[in-house]
Amino acid sequence: MKIYYHGHSVVRIELANGETLLIDPFIKGNPLTDLEVTTVKANYVLVTHGHNDHVGDMVEIGQANEALLISMVEICDFATTQGVKRTHGMNLGGSYDFPFGKVTLTPALHSSSYTFGEQTLYMGEAAGIMIEAEGKTIFHAGDTADFSDLSLIGEQYDIDVAFLPIGDNFTMGPEAAVRAAKRLKAKKVVPIHYNTFPIIEQDPHAFVAKLAGIGQVLAVGESLTL
């Protein structure tokens, strides 16, 4: 499989069978991404939580691709009201075996709401997403603080690559993300959720330098192969 980083928290996974998983598809309004909503392809869309910079363009992409949306049940319920026809709602701690592999929603220490016009909508709990496919385990932490139960996740899963936010202010910053990486014991750690806006500007290379050789900075559009 090939895993691409597309700015902010957007991660795209290309499987050997040709299918594509797209995580947190924030494209319109994302100054760092190299994707276009009208041309992006996805068989599955996965969303960690309800904030606008993670929900992003899930409705348009879901409709255009007839993709299956996998997320917290509240996010899936909202997507259904907006015309997304295929959804699979889950909740924290729950797992499900999809045709491509298993997805588990793990706890994340964060909030989750969506600004919709003049409304602020409750979108359930924030989550991390654990994906087990093709003999590999990929963890997208979503937006989270560092917290002790990440150690339990690290004990339960043999994580090949973990995508961790480092932007600070809204999520854990680089120092906390270093601690989180140690808890998770992932073979490789890739920083996400930084430099999109001035308030979350960070140096990803300085972060990676503290990870004893397991860190990797992916430029926008760059990929790694597992």
Burial class of residue 148 (count of CB atoms within 10 Å of its CB; 0-12, 13-18, 19+): exposed
Both tokens assigned to 222: 């760059």
Rounded to two decimals, the pTM is 0.98
Sheet with 223-225: strands ordered across: 87-90, 68-72, 44-46, 20-23, 11-14, 2-5, 223-225
Q: What pLDDT, on the 0 to 100 scale, is given for residue 78?
A: 98
The residues of the chain scoring below 70 in pLDDT are none
CA distances 64 to 15, 38, 73, 89, 186, Å, are 20, 8, 21, 20, 35
DSSP secondary structure code for residue 38 in this structure = T
CATH code for residues 2-217: 3.60.15.10
Candidates 149, 153, 125; CA nearest to 140 is: 153
Domain range summary for the chain, segments of one domain joined by +? 2-217
Q: What is the mean pLDDT of the chain?
A: 98
Model confidence over 82-116: pLDDT tens digits? 999 999 999 999 999 999 999 999 999 999 999 99
In sign, the C-alpha dihedral spanning 102, 11, 121, 80 is negative
Model confidence over 18-41: pLDDT tens digits? 999 999 999 999 999 999 999 999
Q: Which residues contact 168 (CB under 8 A, 6 or more apart)?
A: 174, 200, 202
The pairing of strands 68-72 and 87-90 is parallel
